[in-house]
Amino acid sequence: MSKDIRTLDLKNIPCPLNVVKCKLALEKLSIEDTLIIELDKGEPEEMVFKTLDQLGYTVDILNDETSWIRISVIYGII
Protein backbone atom coordinates (compact mmCIF):
# COMPACT_ATOMS: atom_id res chain seq x y z
CA MET A 1 0.00 0.00 0.00
CA SER A 2 1.50 3.32 -1.02
CA LYS A 3 1.24 6.44 1.07
CA ASP A 4 2.15 9.15 -1.42
CA ILE A 5 1.58 12.85 -0.91
CA ARG A 6 0.52 14.79 -3.99
CA THR A 7 -0.02 18.51 -4.32
CA LEU A 8 -2.61 20.21 -6.49
CA ASP A 9 -2.28 23.98 -6.92
CA LEU A 10 -5.70 25.38 -7.82
CA LYS A 11 -4.94 29.01 -7.01
CA ASN A 12 -6.28 31.33 -9.74
CA ILE A 13 -8.39 28.49 -11.20
CA PRO A 14 -12.06 29.57 -11.56
CA CYS A 15 -15.12 27.62 -10.44
CA PRO A 16 -16.24 25.03 -11.40
CA LEU A 17 -12.94 24.02 -13.04
CA ASN A 18 -11.21 23.77 -9.65
CA VAL A 19 -13.85 21.28 -8.46
CA VAL A 20 -13.43 19.18 -11.61
CA LYS A 21 -9.62 19.15 -11.27
CA CYS A 22 -9.92 18.20 -7.60
CA LYS A 23 -12.23 15.27 -8.38
CA LEU A 24 -9.93 14.06 -11.18
CA ALA A 25 -6.91 14.20 -8.87
CA LEU A 26 -8.76 12.18 -6.21
CA GLU A 27 -9.58 9.49 -8.78
CA LYS A 28 -5.86 8.95 -9.42
CA LEU A 29 -4.95 8.32 -5.78
CA SER A 30 -4.44 4.98 -4.07
CA ILE A 31 -5.82 4.12 -0.64
CA GLU A 32 -4.24 6.23 2.13
CA ASP A 33 -2.54 8.61 -0.33
CA THR A 34 -2.77 12.26 0.66
CA LEU A 35 -3.83 15.06 -1.65
CA ILE A 36 -2.72 18.57 -0.66
CA ILE A 37 -4.87 21.21 -2.35
CA GLU A 38 -4.12 24.92 -2.53
CA LEU A 39 -6.99 27.15 -3.60
CA ASP A 40 -8.25 30.70 -3.42
CA LYS A 41 -10.56 31.76 -0.62
CA GLY A 42 -14.16 32.64 -1.33
CA GLU A 43 -16.20 30.76 -3.89
CA PRO A 44 -13.40 28.31 -4.89
CA GLU A 45 -12.87 27.34 -1.24
CA GLU A 46 -16.61 26.98 -0.61
CA MET A 47 -17.25 24.89 -3.73
CA VAL A 48 -14.33 22.50 -3.16
CA PHE A 49 -15.23 22.05 0.54
CA LYS A 50 -18.88 21.43 -0.37
CA THR A 51 -17.92 18.87 -3.02
CA LEU A 52 -15.50 17.03 -0.73
CA ASP A 53 -18.13 16.97 2.02
CA GLN A 54 -20.74 15.56 -0.38
CA LEU A 55 -18.25 12.85 -1.39
CA GLY A 56 -17.71 11.98 2.27
CA TYR A 57 -14.16 13.25 2.72
CA THR A 58 -12.79 14.92 5.80
CA VAL A 59 -10.73 18.02 5.09
CA ASP A 60 -7.89 19.24 7.30
CA ILE A 61 -6.78 22.86 6.99
CA LEU A 62 -2.97 23.02 6.86
CA ASN A 63 -2.40 26.69 6.07
CA ASP A 64 -4.89 29.57 6.15
CA GLU A 65 -3.48 32.65 4.40
CA THR A 66 -5.21 35.93 3.59
CA SER A 67 -6.13 35.09 0.00
CA TRP A 68 -5.67 31.30 -0.24
CA ILE A 69 -5.89 28.12 1.81
CA ARG A 70 -4.01 24.78 1.86
CA ILE A 71 -5.97 21.67 2.79
CA SER A 72 -5.29 17.95 2.92
CA VAL A 73 -7.51 15.03 2.00
CA ILE A 74 -6.46 11.45 2.72
CA TYR A 75 -7.96 9.15 0.11
CA GLY A 76 -9.72 6.09 1.46
CA ILE A 77 -10.06 7.42 4.99
CA ILE A 78 -13.48 8.92 5.33
Q: What is the pLDDT of residues 42-51, one digit of tens each?
A: 999 999 999 9
Strand-pairing partners, residue 63, are 70
**What crossing angle do the helices spanning 43-54 and 17-27 adopt, rounded to 10°?**
40
Domains of the chain in sequence order: 5-74 (3.30.110.40)
Three-class secondary structure of residue 15 per DSSP: coil
What is the structure's pLDDT at 77?
A: 62
Cα(78)–Cα(67) distance, integer angstroms:
28
- Judge contact between 37 and 73, C-beta under 8 A: yes
What is the structure's pLDDT at 1?
A: 45
Percent of the chain topping pLDDT 70: 92
Q: What is the pLDDT of residues 32-67, one digit of tens each?
A: 889 999 999 999 999 999 999 998 888 899 999 999
The mean per-residue pLDDT over the stretch 14-39 comes to 92
HSE-up of residue 38 (Cα within 13 Å, Cβ side): 11
